[in-house]
Amino acid sequence: MNSIAVYSSKGGVGKTAAAVNLSYACSLKGKKTLLCDMDPQGAAGFYYRVKPKSNFNRKKFLKGNLRSFIRETDYPNLDLLPTHFSFRNLDLALDREGSGELKRIFAGLADDYDYLILDCPPNMTLLSENLIMAADTVVTPVVPSTLSILALAQLVKFFDKIKADRKKLHAFFSMVERRKKMHMDTIMRFGKKKIFLQTLVPYLADVEKMGITRQPVAATRPESPAAEAYDRLWLEIWKSQIRK
């Protein structure tokens, strides 16, 4: 099982949209995929219309018995582990367990899935550290702006601090608006850096509409530019993994 954490310390950068659409793209390739919603806001679960079971909570999650709480989405090969409101305090519990705890918990699913995609909460806490350590690949969306580039630099430092392998970190430009000069300048300036994947995920109404359709874009509009962008992004991530 390969694990991919979709992570950003900033909110509103298209992280959940990426996790939802990447997991769908992955499942379309015939890979058995589990999307883990680690963000207590539960947006990934919302997009897939999956609510947690009433008896699910942080404690059960930490016990590692995830199988009973995984739910099937409406799409073949794609399951979802919903989040729970109590996940907002996961840090406190992880503090006692150490940074390898999540890795151990997810290892129990290794035989069930080809890919584990983690939708991470937007902060830089012990939970983030745990998620980064647990993942084989960390993908971070970057809105092409100065502040986001700074945040990316911070993230790289954070990797060094927690002794995570920098090579597993990949960034991609998200919510790109070609008509904005600053966006295009930032992309021109930083896009060639090794850390960046080449796919640009544009700012598109179709992605925003996911809040209404509650489906991945490729499920409602498979031929749309948004669907194509996530598909390309998935292929790039997949290639970076198999070329390791």
User: C-beta of 20: minimal distance to another protein in Å?
Assistant: 14
**72 or 160, CB closer to another protein?**
72
Cα–Cα distance for residue pair 169/155, rounded to 1 Å: 9
Verify binding: residue 49, another protein, rule CB under 8 A.
yes
Do the beta carbons of residue 80 and residue 35 sit within 8 Å? yes
**16 or 130, CB closer to another protein?**
16
Cα–Cα distance for residue pair 244/230, rounded to 1 Å: 21
Verify binding: residue 167, another protein, rule CB under 8 A.
no
User: C-beta of 49: minimal distance to another protein in Å?
Assistant: 4
Q: If residue 128 lies in a helix (H) or strand (E), which one and from where to where?
A: helix 126-134
Query: Which one of 74, 160, 165, 208 is in contact with another protein (CB under 8 A)?
Result: 74
* List of E strands, the chain: 2-6, 33-37, 71-72, 78-81, 115-119, 137-142, 169-176, 196-202
Verify binding: residue 51, another protein, rule CB under 8 A.
yes
Do the beta carbons of residue 37 and residue 77 sit within 8 Å? no
**Taking contact as CB under 8 A, which single stretch among the options 9-17, 67-75, 175-183, 203-211 is the one that binds another protein?**
67-75
**Taking contact as CB under 8 A, which single stretch among the options 47-55, 85-93, 161-169, 195-203 is the one that binds another protein?**
47-55
**Taking contact as CB under 8 A, which single stretch among the options 6-14, 63-71, 195-203, 219-227 is the one that binds another protein?**
63-71
Distance of CA 43 to the CA centre of its chain: 12
Do the beta carbons of residue 117 and residue 27 sit within 8 Å? no
Verify binding: residue 142, another protein, rule CB under 8 A.
no
Where along the sequence are the contacts to another protein (CB under 8 A)?
A: 48-51, 53, 67, 69-72, 74, 79, 112, 214
